[in-house]
Amino acid sequence: MLNSSRVNSPVPRSVKSVENMPLPGQPPISLDHLAVHVTNLKSFDNNGLYKEYEAIDPGSGYTWQNANLDLNKPKNRYANVIAYDHSRVLLRQLPGISCSDYINANYIDGYQRQNAYIATQGPLPETFADFWRMVWEQNSRIIVMMTRLEERARLKCDQYWPSRGTEHFCITPEPPPPGSPKLDYTALSVTILESIEYAYYTVRTFAMQKLLAEDSATQPPTLESLKPVSGTRHVKQFQFTAWPDCGAPEQAQPLLFFMRQVNQARVALLQQQQIQLDNGGAPGMQQNCTSTVFPAAPSTAASNRLGPMIVHCSAGVGRTGKCRSMRFWRHFNSLRMRTQRNFMVQTEQQYAFLYEVLVEAARVSGSEVTVHSLHNYVMKLHQPAPTALLSQYFGEMGNGGVKANYGAPQQTSTSVTSMDIEFQRISLNLQISGQCTSASLPENMTKNRTSQVLPYEGNRVVLSQLRDVEGADYINASFVDGYWSRQAYIATQAPLANTVKDFWRMVWEHNSPIIVMLSQLSEAGRQLSFQYWPAEHSERYQNFLVEPMVEYNMPSFVLREFRMTDSRDGQTRTLRQFQFSDWRETSSPSRTAEALIELIAQVHKTQAQFGQDGPITVHCSTGAGRTGVFIALSILLERMRCEGVVDLLLTTRLLRTQRNNMIENVDQYAFCYSALLEYLASFEH
C-alpha cells in the first residue's frame, strides 16, 4: 500500500547539531587541492563538513506568496518546499482560470548562463498538464529525473509520461482573437517513442505536438476534433535509477556516467541549433542534421531558442540540487542556488556525497575519449609522461596517492609513461565504503584463495543458510554491475577443493546460466583452480547433480554444456561453461585480443539466444585480474557501440568499488586499450 504522494515535509531537520559558523570570504578551491580540502573537512568525524553545510543560509528573506495562495497550495507536493516569487517559472495565464500561471518550479542559474535550469518537484496528477505546458512553453528538450517512482513503498513521483502510445494533456481555452467571441482550445500530445534501460539510468524519448480546435459550441471540443498546429518536438528524459531508498549513493561513479550521458544529449542539441543558425534557419528546426541522441525534427519545429534543462526529484530540492551542482562542479555554489529555490541540497549526507562526486570528477577529468580520438590517445599514453604529470605523480605519493596505495614506484622518472600514471590514478582517492566482514570471519578464512581479494559485504553473493553450519552463507564472490543491468556478473575466485559444493550452490541459487573460466587448472606446477566440473560421469554436489552433456573445442576456447538437477524437486537446468585457456596468469593473452573479444561476444550472444537473465559467473584464479579485464571489456565494448566513447579509467574505478584489484596490473590495463583499438580496427578492414 503506497502512502500519500503529498505529505507535510520531506526536509528533515539536521541530524547533527553543529554550531552555525559563517564562512567569511572562503576562496574557490583549486582542483589540485580539492581532495586535500575534502579530507580536511572530513577529519574529526566530519566536523568541518557539517559546519560548512550548516553555514549555508537555508534561503530566508525571500517571499513565496504565490505558492501560498489557496488555489496553488494543492499544486505543491510538500507544504514547505515552495517556489520563491522572484525566481519562479511563470506559465502563460489561461483565460478565465485564476492562478493558471503557477507551477512549483524555479529558474536556476548555470555557469555564466542565467536560467540555465528549471528545478521543479515531481509532478502530481493534478499538475501533469502544467508540467508539460512548462516543457512546451520553455522549449525545454531535456528532463532529468533524479528519483524512482516509488521508494520504500512510498510514492515519490507520479508517472507523468505515457508508458506506451500517446497521452493528451491540457485541453484549455486560448485567448480569443480580437473582435471574436469564440475561444480556441489547445492540448499537448505526448507520445513515447523509445525507452532504453541501462544499469544506472533509463533514457526515454518523447514526441510532443500542440493541437488546436475551434469552439463551435458551448462545450469544449473532444480530442478527436483537435488538429496539430505545430511541428514535432523531441524531448529526452533521463531518469537516474541508482539512488538508494535512503541517504545518498555509496559511490560517485554511476552518477558521473549518468551526467555524461545528459551532457552528450545537451551538446548534440546545441550543435543542431548552431547548424540551423549557420544555415540561416531558426534554432530548434534541426533540418538537414541528425543525431544518435536526438532525432532530427521537421522544419516546422519551434523557432525559439532551446530552453532550460528541467531537473526534478520528488521535492525538487535535494537530489535536484546535487544534479545541478554536478553540471558545473568547477563552480560549485550551493549558497547561490538557495537564493533561487529553498533547501537545494537538503541534507549533510547529500552535501558530503556531492563533494565525493566532485573529487571523483577531478580524478577522472579528461579520461573519456571518443572512438575517433582513441588511437591518438593511446599512443600518447605509451609515451614518457610530460613533466607536469610527473610532478603530480610523485607529488601525490605523499598525499594518500601512489605511494599510499602501491608503495614507491619501481620506475625512474625517465621511464614512467602516461599509461603508468593513468593506471595509478585508479586507486587515487578511491572511496571504498564496503567492509570485508564475512570474509574475515574465522570460519570463512579457509574458503579464500588469497587474503588480497575478498568480497565487500554490501555486494557479496549470499548463499542460503544451512542448519548447524557456521558461515554456510559465505562464498568468495561479488555481484558486479554491467552496462545494461545491475548485478549482471558474479566475479568469483576459482573454486577450492573445500568450496566446490558452495560454487555449484551459488550457480543454482542465483540462477547463473553461464560460467566463464579464464585460466588453466594449473600453471608452472601451481594449482590455479580445482577441477570443479565432472569430466565424464555425473557427480553430486550436496543436493545438486551435475551431468556433462557435450564439449566443443573452439579455436580460442572450450565450450562445455551440463545438465544440473536439484534432487529435492527434480528441477533441471542447462548450464554452459566457456573456458578461455590462452591466457597465463602473469601476462596478456598470447594471441591477439581478437580471441578474447570473440569470447566476450559468444558469451553474451549465448545468454541472449537462450533468454537467460541470470548473472554471468566469471572467474580466473583470484576473481580479480583477468576477471576484471573480461568484465571491463564487456562494459567498454557496449558503451563504445552505443555511445561512441570510452572511459577505461572511470570504468575500472567503478569495478574496484565492487571488488578489489579488478584489473590488477598496468599490463592488463594496457591490454584493455589494445583490445579496444583492435575492435575498432576490425571495422576499418
3-state secondary structure 142-182: EEEECCCCEECCEECCCCCCCCCCEEEEEEEECCCCCCCCC
- Whole-angstrom distance, CA of residue 653 vs CA of residue 361: 12
**Residue 128: strand, helix, or coil:** helix
Q: 118-149 burial, b for 16+ CB within 10 Å, e for fewer?
A: bbbbbbbeebbbbbbbbbbbbbbbbbbbbbbb
Greatest CA separation found in the chain?
97
3-state secondary structure 223-256: HHHCEECCCCEEEEEEEECCCCCCCCCCCCHHHH
Backbone φ and ψ of 478, nearest 5°: -130, 140
Q: Which three cell numbers stand for residue 400?
A: 594518500
**Residue 562: strand, helix, or coil:** strand
Which residues have C-beta within 8 Å of that of residue 147, sequence separation ≥ 6? 122, 156, 157, 240, 243, 312, 313, 314, 319
The residues facing 118 across adjacent strands are 107, 310
Backbone φ and ψ of 383, nearest 5°: -85, 160
Residues 647, 653, 659, 661: is their CA dihedral positive or negative?
positive
Angle at 257 between CA 384 and CA 266, to 5 degrees: 105
Positions of E strands within 295-431: 309-312, 369-370
Backbone φ and ψ of 414, nearest 5°: -80, -15
Q: Tell me the one-letter amino acid at 139.
A: N
Q: Give the chain's length.
A: 685
Give me the catalytic one of 313, 323, 436, 672: 313
The residues facing 105 across adjacent strands are 120
The residues facing 574 across adjacent strands are 563
Would you call 246 a catalytic residue per the annotation?
A: no
* In contact, 48 and 41? CB cutoff 8 Å: yes
Angle at 678 between CA 677 and CA 684, to 5 degrees: 90
**Residue 302: strand, helix, or coil:** coil
Residues 268, 270, 273, 274: is their CA dihedral positive or negative?
negative
Own/partner contacts of 84-87, CB < 8 Å, gap of 24 or more, are 84/59, 84/340, 84/341, 84/342, 86/62, 87/339, 87/340, 87/341
Helix (H) or strand (E) holding 650: helix 648-656
Give me the catalytic one of 323, 436, 620, 672: 620
Closest CA to 478 of 469, 468, 488: 488
Pairing of β 522-523 and β 514-517: unpaired
- Whole-angstrom distance, CA of residue 197 vs CA of residue 393: 38
Would you call 313 a catalytic residue per the annotation?
A: yes
* In contact, 296 and 259? CB cutoff 8 Å: no
Helix (H) or strand (E) holding 186: strand 184-197
| Active site positions, annotated | 313, 620
